[in-house]
Amino acid sequence: MQGVESSFNKDIRFEALFNSASLGIIVVNKEGIIVLANTFANKLFSFDPESMVGEVLEKLIPQRYHHKHVGYRDGYAHNPQARGMGIGMTLSAIKKTGEEFPVEVSLGHFKTDDKSFAIAYIADITKRKQNEEKIILQQDDLERINEEMRKLNANLEATVNTRTIELQSTLNELEASKEELTISLEKEKEVNDLKSRFVSMASHEFRTPLSTILSSISLLAKYSTTEDQPKRDKHIDRIKSSVKSLTDILNEFLSLGRIEEGKVDVKPDSFDLTEFMSGIINEMNVLLKPNQNIQYTHIGSPITYSDSNLLKHVVVNLLSNAIKFSPENSVINIDSKIEDDITLVQISDQGIGIPNSDQVHLFERFFRATNVTNIQGTGLGLHIVGRYVDLLKGTIKYSSELEKGSTFTIQYPSKIINDFE
């Protein structure tokens, strides 16, 4: 013990560093007796200054661990190695007052005057543990809230689908007879009442499409003759479009929730990109404005490798935006190319474009450009597109000019890579 003290006292500067350290430092001989302890260690374990020296190390450890710790200490004395402790596990210490608290401990060893000593660096991690427990509780609360949101969204989607089917049945009955029309109007009233309650509890993103549905249903009652069929068809199309908007909003919230929770599984496989794109175009043709046209070209082998479900979500979202933000009588170009194990998909439109000041925020959550505030949307679409492209190990770039259109380019590896596993 005297050899250790003389070694430490030789350098006053080292002693100052030892006693001013902001973590506990304890030196123990091979018999487990504390021979040195800095000021912080004495304070940490509620000992008076210097009073820890001479105590058995096990006095700092809860009684229930004594029988194991003596064996660990003896084993370390015979085979000392510098190592960190407490990683991935919780260690416990006990103060002179009997108060138990969590610690993190690192061990070292040295020899002086032919005597072996172990040195322990001890940090009180009580606050960290408390913060971790708070985080766990907050995560549990967040998961509960997300689960409630998913259930609400599922119920809303089911309600919309059910009412859409009922509405189609009502429209068929309108063509049968005036008596059936009266019955249908009663059902429409019921639908209107349901929509009013729906709007009162839903967020503002749902209000515009629901208002469109309600107004079209009311106008349908005025068209009771065969000659009015084109007008009825117009309002039916408006209703279908609005229902799709509601479904898209629900899907965006569901997709965002799954992404944030890390629950989106990437399942890549080989498929024909040209058939894949043609299928999407056929589905999207119903959304085209008068005289809008989609032109598709492909270069290279048609076979690509990716998650077709995620890629479809990306392409559908970008193509929907191109249709929505482009005028009538315009052309939307889709170009794809597979070359050197790289697949490139580019979608260009002749739409309203994106202001330069807004482009830096384009993929941020809930962001909408300043020139589209009068067009319905949640501001989640491009954010989700960006996240999906990341999951596909790809990149997305864009260029845009006001009133001249926008171009989005997706590039991803079209071969099997370990990162997908």
pLDDT in tens, 6-15: 444 445 666 7
Closest C-alpha to 158, from 243, 75, 86 = 243
> Is the distance from CB of 199 to CB of 214 less than 8 angstroms?
no
- SS3 (DSSP) at 260: helix
Candidate from 107-116, 227-236, 270-279, 284-293 with smallest mean pLDDT? 227-236
Candidate from 233-242, 275-284, 334-343, 367-376 with smallest mean pLDDT? 367-376
Quote the CA–CA distance of 135 and 141 in Å, as a whole number.
Answer: 10
Rounded percentage of the chain residues whose pLDDT exceeds 70: 70
Report the pLDDT value the prediction gives residue 200, as an integer from 0 to 100: 38
**Two tokens, residue 377:** 């949307």
Structural domain containing residue 163 = 130-260
pTM assigned to the model: 0.45
The structural domain count of the chain equals: 3
Listed residues 77, 93, 124: the one ending a domain: 124
Alpha helices in 295-355 (DSSP H): 308-324
Categorize the per-residue pLDDT at 279 as very low, low, confident or very high, splitting at 50, 70 and 90: very high
CATH number at residue 247: 1.20.120
What would the mean pLDDT of 364-383 be, rounded to a whole number?
68
Q: In angstroms, what CA-CA distances link 289 with 139, 286, 326, 349?
A: 45, 9, 9, 13
- SS3 (DSSP) at 373: coil
Q: Are residues 282 and 411 in the same domain?
A: yes
Q: Are residues 306 and 176 in the same domain?
A: no
How many CB atoms sit inside 10 A of residue 350's CB? 19
CATH number at residue 11: 3.30.450.20
> Is the distance from CB of 213 to CB of 195 less than 8 angstroms?
yes
Q: Are residues 273 and 415 in the same domain?
A: yes
pLDDT in tens, 118-153: 888 888 888 988 898 899 988 888 888 888 888 887
Quote the CA–CA distance of 135 and 166 in Å, as a whole number.
Answer: 46
